[in-house]
Amino acid sequence: MSARLKIVRAGPQVTVQDLGRTGYVAFGLSRGGAADRLALYEGAALLGQDSWLAALEMAGAGGVFEATADIRIAFTGAPMTASLDGKALTWPGSHDMPAGSRLEIGAARRGTYGYLHVGGGIDVPVILGARSAHLAGGLGAALDAGTELPVGEDPGGPTGRTLPADDRFSGGEVRVVPSVQTDFFPEETRDRLVRTAFEKDPRANRMSARMRFEGDGFGVEGGLSVVSEVIVPGDIQVTGDGVPVVLLAESQTTGGYPRIGTVIHSDVARVAQAQPGAPLRFRFVTAEEGRGAEAKAAEARAALPKRITTLVRDPADMADLLSYNLVGGVTRGDDI
């Protein structure tokens, strides 16, 4: 029988996520999928598997997990404290999880969304082309303690791997391209948007992230009479009270608030991952610059497998220390 992953205790919002569903905008269903898509590619690279496989997305904190058979796991996204039978595990990283062992994933140290990947992927049924829960659209739900998730067939592969730490978990600058109503906003308002030091508001979820700031709002005359048009992920809409809100993976497909710009895809995770209070700034770039940045991000995704390195074990854990070559720090790569 194939392995199952048991949720012994669930954090505030644990959901199955993959790269989402495309092709349903006309029917009111947005793409959804992981709030931090790069984390899925990282997990796939760590386990040497397809990036379309589903993982668990954990908002704020993880939970306690057990497997019914030996499985491989990997952590990506917001770094969380993690331990297996009390022994600390590296994040990001891939590890073995023996049957019956207890995996504890605590609170995020930075960022919001952490990901637990399993070798073979979380194998819940595919609905409308994907396995991801779309909470706003009524597909799937946050998982409770007691849930047992089927794990897909894992051809196996090395564990004990890691990736260089990334800086997308603490806010920062995000690049913005023009969008549907950018020219609706006076130049003064657009200039002020890029000069303003924003903070992520605690009111944020998989649908959207609200900005907090000092000073005048960014409302525009006639803004409330804008006719609804299609939303794309990353759109910055300005609500009736003049507050910019960045629309994320699970946004509605259409919206009637004017949109001052769109955060480029490769920077959306920086907005989604920022913790409440983390600083955020917007910088307008041209569509051409934006496309260049996206192309570079796609190259970096494709190159992820080359950036994987072998985890260095804590010498205190190495009972057979003398058998290791400690001089050059060089190993074959699959021997520890």
Partner 1 sequence: MTATLPRIVPAGLDGLIVRFGDILSEPANRAALAYRAAFDAEGVDGVAETATSLVSTFVRFAPGADPDAVQARAATLMDSRDWTEAALPSGRRLVRVPTLYGTDRAPQLAAAAEAAGLSEADAVTSLSSARLRVTAIGFAPGQPYLGTLGEEWDIPRLTDLAQVPAAALVVAVRQLVLFAQASPTGWRHVGQTRLQLFRPEADTPFVLRPGDEVTFASISENAFDDLPDGPDGGAEWEDIA
Nearest CA to 179 among 235, 249, 243?
235
What is the side-by-side strand order in the sheet with 93-97? 13-17, 55-59, 113-118, 71-77, 93-97
Site string for partner 1, 179-218 (x = CB under 8 A): xxx-xx----------------------------------
* Sole window of 9-17, 164-172, 211-219, 289-297 interacting with partner 1 (rule: CB under 8 A): 289-297
Near partner 1 by CB under 8 A: residue from 36, 57, 104, 235: 235
Residue 79: CB minimum distance to partner 1, A = 29
Q: How many CB atoms lie within 10 A of CB 252?
A: 18
Range 264-301 burial, b when 16+ CB lie within 10 A, else e: bbbbbbbbbbbbeebebebebbeeeebeebbeeeeeeb
> Is residue 191 classed as helix, strand or coil in its secondary structure?
helix
* Binding footprint of partner 1, residue count (CB under 8 A): 41
Site string for partner 1, 43-72 (x = CB under 8 A): ------------------------------
* Sole window of 71-79, 196-204, 260-268, 304-312 interacting with partner 1 (rule: CB under 8 A): 260-268
83 binds partner 1 (CB under 8 A): no
Burial, 86: exposed, middle or buried (Cβ in 10 Å; 0-12, 13-18, 19+)?
A: exposed
Near partner 1 by CB under 8 A: residue from 253, 276, 297, 304: 253
Residues 268-287 that bind partner 1 (CB under 8 A): 287
User: What are the start-end ranges of the H helices in 86-226?
Assistant: 187-195
**Under the rule (CB under 8 A), what is the footprint of partner 1?**
22-29, 127-128, 136-139, 177-181, 183-184, 222, 225, 227-230, 232-235, 252-254, 262, 264-265, 287, 290-291, 294
